[in-house]
Structure 1
């Protein structure tokens, strides 16, 4: 990402919050045949230290395409983002921008055993089903679920480094920030309540 020190997000807990709230991520590998990218849901795994540990799975034969386990991969997590119109700025400020919350995470995947993979698949389903009125579980038909799980390869990525940005108009005056948030909360073509919430949180305006 572009080097923007004043937008850096260095707090591991904030990166964890980003991953938890935006689990659909892009995994990129620089393989012997070139760049490969795929998209899968990731969950945070509890760690004994303060590090970041991700778990997911890929559908076969993506594990071969990515050469998983043979080298480092990049996982890109994209949070709320959106266009910021200069219509929300003072007249003399006429250059638009794009606000976003994004993290790049690096690590070498570990291939999970079949049993671990099935456990992680179950946790993925349970994680997303928990908000449903009648949650569905792989335990409904474990035999069939285990058979289908053979078409996937589970992975664990212990993040060795990350580069994260929360570009949320921190360089703007408070009254301009208020106007941007109001615009994002409105009903115009660039409305984005989720981005407005992130901006309000970053500027300490949640209670206003």
Structure 2
């Protein structure tokens, strides 16, 4: 990922937080001739190793699963994002752009077909999204659960490297940042408001760092 210095995130904590909050990601593997990707919900476990561990499962019929064990992979996570008009800037000339936050996680995949491990993966993933009182695999007949587990493979990825880019107008003058935030809030909608809040936080963090220098 191309990461200019303005937008680089060196601290692991916000990168881990973005993954945890936007855990439906993209699992990419293969080379130039056989590159393939799957869109999957991940379970992120930050306490495993220096950069945490990603866990997911794929359909056993997914061709990516057959060539995944022991292979290097890239997992991509997208946070807040949105269009930025040059009309929102105080300083001209300017061009349109897109602000966003994204994390790339690199590691080597391990594939499991062990029923006990698969059950554990499914139960942990569903616990995250269902909550304590939600659906559980144990709610279904055992014959159904066993058939389900035969149809999937589990994937565990110890993260070897995290790379983050939070492009939130840090390269623009303060007046431009204020203008973008104001216009995103004016437009409204969850995505625009979330981006405005992320930009506001980035601006406040930058101001706090400057005051400590």
> With structure 1 as the length reference, what TM-score do the two structures score?
0.87
Q: Given that residues 51 and 162 in structure 2 are in contact (C-alpha distance below 8 angstroms), is that contact kept between their aligned partners in structure 1?
A: no
Q: Which has the higher helix share?
A: 2
Task: Indicate yes or no: 2:106 matched with 1:116.
Answer: no
**What RMSD over aligned residues (CA atoms) do the two structures have, in Å?**
2.4
Q: Equivalents in 2 of 1:38, 1:202: separation in Å?
A: 31
| Rounded Cα–Cα distance in structure 1 between residues aligned with 2:130 and 2:120 | 15
How far apart, CA to CA, are the structure 2 residues paired with 1:50 and 1:139? 33
1:119-147 residue CA offsets vs partner (Å, 9 max, x unmatched)? 1111111111129xx62222212612332
Asked if 2 retains the 8 angstrom alpha-carbon contact of 1:63 and 1:153, the reply is no
Distance 1:68 1:27, change over 3 A: same
Q: Which residue of 2 aligns with 1:126?
A: 127
Question: 8 Å contact 2:89–2:175 — kept in the other structure?
Answer: no
Give the Cα–Cα distance (whole angstroms) in 1 for the partners of residues 166 and 156 of structure 2: 26
Change (3 A) 1:64 1:77: closer
CA deviation profile, 1:79-127 (whole Å, cap 9, x unmatched): 1111111121025232111111111111111123321221111111111
- Whether the aligned pair in 1 keeps the contact of 2:91 and 2:176 (CA below 8 Å) is no
In the alignment, which residue of structure 2 is the partner of 1:87?
87
CA deviations over 1:165-187 (Å, ceiling 9, x no partner): 01111112223212211211222
Partners of 2:4 and 2:24 lie apart in 1 by 25
Change (3 A) 1:190 1:175: farther
Q: Which residue of 2 aligns with 1:137?
A: 136
In structure 1, runs of 5+ residues without a counterpart are none
Is the Cα contact below 8 Å between 1:82 and 1:190 reproduced in 2? no
Shift of 1:188: 6.3
Stretches of structure 2 that go unaligned for 5 or more consecutive residues are 206-213
Are positions 1:53 and 2:53 aligned together? yes
Alpha-carbon distance between aligned partners in 1 of 2:186 and 2:150, rounded to the nearest angstrom: 47
Following TM superposition, the consecutive aligned residue runs of length 4 or more in structure 1 with deviations greater than 3 angstroms are 63-66, 188-191
CA distance in 1 between partners of 2:191 and 2:64 (Å): 41
Q: Do the aligned partners of residues 21 and 190 (structure 1) sit closer, same or farther apart at CA in structure 2, a change above 3 Å counting?
A: closer
Shift of residue 204, structure 1, vs aligned partner: 2.1
Alpha-carbon distance between aligned partners in 2 of 1:48 and 1:154, rounded to the nearest angstrom: 17
Distance 1:50 1:76 in 2: 18
Give the distance between the partners of 2:130 and 2:98, measured in 1 at CA: 32
Aligned to 2:73: 73
Aligned length: 203
